Each structure stands twice: as C-alpha cells, then as structure tokens.
C-alpha cells in the first residue's frame, strides 16, 4: 500500500504538505496542491481516516437525525444534505428519531458516540431531553426545519435552518378568500412543533388580511399525519356550516384530507376547494392539479450543512437562524381554471354560484359567499419572503 511519504516523493513536496492538502489544515499553492492530487491518483493512495482522526480530533463525518422514512419532505432534505456533505469531503451517518422524544435523544447520543464532528437534527414536538443532551456535551448542532426559540427559552443557543411558514400560509388563505370563500378550514399539524404554530399564525393572518372573522372551529388538528388528517377533515365536514375550502398544513395531511373527501363523494374543487402546504413531486399529476406552497427542501438540507461547517470553523460565533423563502405553485385544486394558471388572472370571470353545485352533507343552502367574487391577479409561481 502506498504511503503518504510515497506521495510526497512523487509530488516533490514534504509529507507535511501532503497532510495539509488532505486535511485542509493550511493553504497550499494551487500548482502544489494539484501535484499532490496527481500523485495520489497515480499511486492509488488511500488516506487512513482512522489515523487522521486521531491526529486532527476530527472524523470528517456528520450525523443527521430526521424522520426521513416516514416523511417524504425530509427525504428530499436528506438528498440535499447528502450532496452537500459529499461535496465538502465528509461522510454522513443517518438516524431516524421517528418524531419520538425519547427515541430522538437515544439516536442522537448514538451518533455523538460515533464521534461525528457535528449534528443536523429536526427536533420533535417535545425536545427538552434532546436539547439538554446537546447542550451538556457542547455538540456542534444545527436544528433543521423546526425552531426552538419560542418553545424552549432556557435552551442553549443553536444554529437553525428552516423555511418561511407564516407568510406563505397567509398567501394560501388570501388566495382562497380572493376566490370568494368565506369559511376556510385548516387541517393543522402536530401541536408543539414550531412549524404548526407558525402555519396557524399564517392562517389567522390571512383571514385578517382578507377581512374574514376567525372561527376556531375551522381549525382541526391533523397531527401532521395522514390518518390524523382524515379525522380532522371529517370533523370539519360535520360542522353545521362546513368550510367551502380547505388548507392542509403538510403533504401527509393532504393525502389524508383527499382520502376523506373521496370517501364522502366530494369533488375537488367543484364541491370544496383545496390548497396545501408542501408540494409533491407528483402534485402536478393529480386531477385536479394541487395548488401548493413549495418548500425548498434540498436547499434547506444544503444550507444546514453549510451553516454547520461554518460553526465547526468558528465555534465561538453567535448562533443564528436562517430562513429560506417558499414558492406559490398555482394550479387548479383551488378552483381556478386550467388556463388561468399560466399567467395573470385579471380576465377570469367568477365561478358558478355555490347553490348551483352539489352540497356536501350539513352545508346550508346559501352559505355566506358572494356569487361574483373579486379575483386578484397572481402569477403561477411567485417567490415569498
């Protein structure tokens, strides 16, 4: 097996220079670096990562704890993390905490015991044990997707990377209100998650912007799961004055809501309009096509890696929270005609009065909804900040 000394002789440099190239421990002139890399390639030299970690106290590995198996949204984030980790010459260890607080702490401890250089974690709804462990052991950590500032005032400071939630959710609500809906239901996420709280705030903000009253009976907890959303949607449809439009707060709950609507024999958007937070890779293939807020999933993963590497390079800098913008994917499940989703909508006329279309069980004959709603202009996709 070729050694580092063999590489140094072949490249005409010192062993220390080879070490600096391999470990990025000191700047090396470009032509010298290239000579070392050419020698490594020619000799087939493979660095001894175990020996290197003993010298540098770094394993060049990162631990990722997200519920990727049960949540397609986190699967896309994982792809972004993996690509960024490999690009920077790190390896990735993955654990699934299953959104369970006790299991979460255990898997994070296992990753830490593997001597990863840092962790990227999507915390559960009750992360106290997790945060205590990370703080006690001073583990360089980036919290991903879910922030803890408003839920754990005494928690040690951590870097955080997440998407905007409040503004994009408000955008969905005001869009539906612009189509004439006055009773807009929300299938909300798991209580305790910051994403749930922020999206509920966005829902309320959207109602206020549209001049609509808040009716708490129109907010039903779907617990961020398909099965929970089925029950939440059924409860909303059973109200004396059920909603004429629904907003679901994540992709799994969109599936649950659609399942319940189909079981009730209701058509989207003819009987009830639907918008969702979280886009699908296949959302454009649904009939109708789903109007959605698309989160920058892969970008979130890549940004979490970048922030963690900056933390490893500068351990004493202040913690920060990075939020990335979402996009509004305007399609047809909201009730807009297909041709209207290709550009500005100023020329579109109103939909037929609700009384001319089938009613779902329990809906009054003349719900509070104008027959000729104002319809604002909006692009197919617009960046939200």
Q: Indicate which CATH number applies to the domain containing 198.
A: 3.40.50.2300
Q: What is the pLDDT of residue 341?
A: 65
Look at the alpha carbons of 170, 171, 172, 174 in this order and tell me if their dihedral is positive or negative.
positive
> What does the mean pLDDT of the chain come to?
84
Among the candidates 18, 36, 56, a domain finishes at 56
Is 372 within the bounds of a domain? no
Q: What is the pLDDT of residue 19?
A: 84
Residues 138 and 219 both lie in one domain: no
Start-end of H helices in the chain = 4-11, 15-23, 30-43, 49-56, 72-87, 101-113, 128-136, 166-178, 194-210, 226-237, 251-263, 297-313
pLDDT in tens, 270-323: 999 999 999 877 767 777 899 999 999 999 999 999 999 999 999 999 999 999
- Does pLDDT of 368 surpass 50? no
Confidence class of residue 53 from pLDDT cuts 50, 70 and 90?
low
Number of compact structural domains in the chain: 3
Q: Are residues 69 and 153 in the same domain?
A: yes
> H/E/C letters for each residue in 140-208?
CEEEECCCCCCCCCCCCCCEEEEECCHHHHHHHHHHHHHCCCCCEEEEECCCCCHHHHHHHHHHHHHHH
Residue 348 has pLDDT above 90, yes or no: no
Residues 35 and 131 in one domain: no
Q: Are residues 82 and 123 in the same domain?
A: yes
If asked whether residues 139 and 212 sit together in one domain, one would say no
State the average pLDDT over residues 325-342. 86
Cα-to-chain-centroid distance, residue 228: 19
- Does residue 171 share a domain with residue 155? no
d(CA 333, CA 268): 6
Residues in the chain: 385
Of 71-80, 148-157, 282-291, 331-340, minimum mean pLDDT range: 148-157
DSSP string of 265-302?
A: T--TTTTSEEEEES--TTGGGSSSPPEEEEP-HHHHHH
Q: How confident is the model at residue 376 (pLDDT cuts 50, 70, 90)?
A: very low
Among 27-41, 217-231, 341-355, where is mean pLDDT lowest?
A: 341-355
In degrees and rounded to multiples of 5, residue 103 shows phi and psi of: -65, -35
How much is the average pLDDT of 44-64?
Answer: 71
Q: Nearest to residue 312, comparing CAs of 51, 89, 15?
A: 89
Q: Residue 254: what pLDDT?
A: 95
Distances (CA, A) of 7 to 13, 39, 199: 8, 6, 56
Q: Considering the domain boundaries, does residue 45 fall inside one?
A: yes
Whether residue 181 is found in the same domain as residue 204 = yes
Burial class of residue 244 (count of CB atoms within 10 Å of its CB; 0-12, 13-18, 19+): buried
Report the alpha-carbon angle 113-311-28, nearest 5: 100
Domain boundary among 41, 56, 71: 56
pLDDT tens per residue across span 215-259: 999 999 999 999 999 999 999 999 999 999 999 999 999 999 999
Which domain CATH number covers 30?
1.10.260.40
Please report which confidence band the pLDDT of residue 47 belongs to, taking 50, 70 and 90 as the band edges. Answer: confident
According to DSSP, residue 214 is labeled P
pLDDT of residue 366: 38
Judge if 196 and 283 occupy the same domain. Answer: yes
Q: Say if residue 187 is in the same domain as residue 235.
A: yes
Cis upstream peptide for 269 (omega within 30°): yes
Q: What is the pLDDT of residue 57?
A: 57
17 and 39 assigned to the same domain: yes
Q: What are phi and psi of 160, to 5 degrees?
A: -140, 140
Domain-located, residue 360:
no
Is residue 385 pLDDT above 50, yes or no? Answer: no
Three-class DSSP category at 246 = strand
Sign, CA torsion 64/138/60/87: positive
The CA distance from 222 to 249, in Å, is: 9
List the beta bridge partners of residue 275: 247, 291
pLDDT band at 358 (very low <50, low <70, confident <90, very high): very low
Question: Measured between alpha carbons, how far is 205 from 80 in angstroms, rounded to an integer?
Answer: 31
Whether 54 has a pLDDT exceeding 70, the answer reads no
Contact 98, 124 (CB under 8 A): no
The domain of 8 spans 4-56
Query: If you average pLDDT over each of 16-20, 72-76, 198-202, which comes out highest?
Result: 198-202
Instruction: Tell me, yes or no, whether 354 lies in a domain.
Output: no
Is 378 within the bounds of a domain?
Answer: no
Averaged pLDDT, 120-124: 95
Has residue 356 been placed in a domain?
no
Task: Indicate whether 353 pLDDT > 80.
Answer: no
Question: How much of the chain exceeds pLDDT 70, in percent?
Answer: 82
Residue 237 forms part of a structural domain: yes
Higher pLDDT, 50 or 347: 50
- Average pLDDT estimate for 115-119: 95
Lowest-confidence region among 192-206, 213-227, 333-347: 333-347
Same domain membership, residue 88 and residue 183: no
Q: Is 200:222 a contact under the CB 8 Å cutoff?
A: no
Indicate whether 361 belongs to any domain.
no
Which pLDDT value is given to residue 179? 97
Same-domain check for residues 331 and 231:
yes
């Amino acid at each position: 097996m070729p050694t580092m000394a063999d590489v140094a002789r072949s490249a005409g440099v010192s062993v220390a220079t080879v070490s600096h190239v391999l470990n990025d421990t000191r700047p090396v002139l470009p032509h010298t670096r290239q000579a070392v890399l050419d020698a490594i390639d020619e000799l087939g030299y493979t660095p001894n990562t175990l020996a290197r970690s003993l010298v540098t106290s770094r394993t060049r590995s990162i631990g990722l704890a997200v519920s990727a198996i049960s949540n397609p949204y986190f699967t896309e984030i994982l792809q972004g993390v993996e690509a960024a980790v490999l690009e920077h010459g790190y390896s990735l260890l993955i654990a699934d905490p299953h959104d369970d607080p006790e299991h979460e702490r255990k898997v994070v401890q296992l990753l830490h015991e593997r001597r990863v250089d840092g962790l990227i974690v999507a915390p559960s709804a009750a992360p106290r044990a997790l945060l205590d462990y990370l703080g006690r052991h001073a583990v360089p950590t980036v919290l991903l997707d879910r922030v803890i500032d408003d839920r754990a005032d005494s928690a040690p400071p951590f870097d955080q990377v997440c998407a905007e939630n409040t503004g994009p959710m408000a955008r969905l609500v005001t869009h539906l209100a612009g189509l004439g809906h006055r009773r807009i239901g929300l299938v909300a996420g798991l209580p305790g998650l910051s994403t749930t709280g922020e999206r509920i705030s966005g829902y309320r903000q959207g109602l206020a912007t549209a001049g609509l009253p808040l009716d708490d009976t129109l907010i039903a907890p779907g617990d961020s799961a398909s099965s929970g959303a089925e029950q939440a949607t059924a409860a909303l449809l059973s109200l004396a004055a059920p909603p004429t439009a629904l907003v679901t707060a994540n992709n799994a709950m969109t599936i649950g809501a659609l399942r319940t609507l189909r079981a009730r024999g209701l058509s989207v958007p003819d009987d009830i309009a639907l918008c969702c937070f979280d886009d699908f890779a296949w959302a454009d293939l649904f009939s109708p096509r789903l109007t959605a807020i698309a989160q920058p999933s892969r970008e979130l993963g890549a940004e979490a890696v970048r922030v963690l590497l900056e933390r490893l390079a500068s351990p004493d800098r202040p913690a920060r929270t990075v939020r990335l913008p979402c996009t509004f994917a305007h399609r047809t499940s909201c009730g807009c005609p297909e041709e209207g989703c290709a550009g500005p909508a100023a020329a579109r006329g109103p939909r037929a009065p609700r009384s001319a279309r089938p009613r779902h069980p329990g809906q009054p004959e003349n719900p509070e909804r104008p027959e000729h709603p104002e319809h604002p202009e909006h692009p197919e996709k617009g960046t939200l900040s």
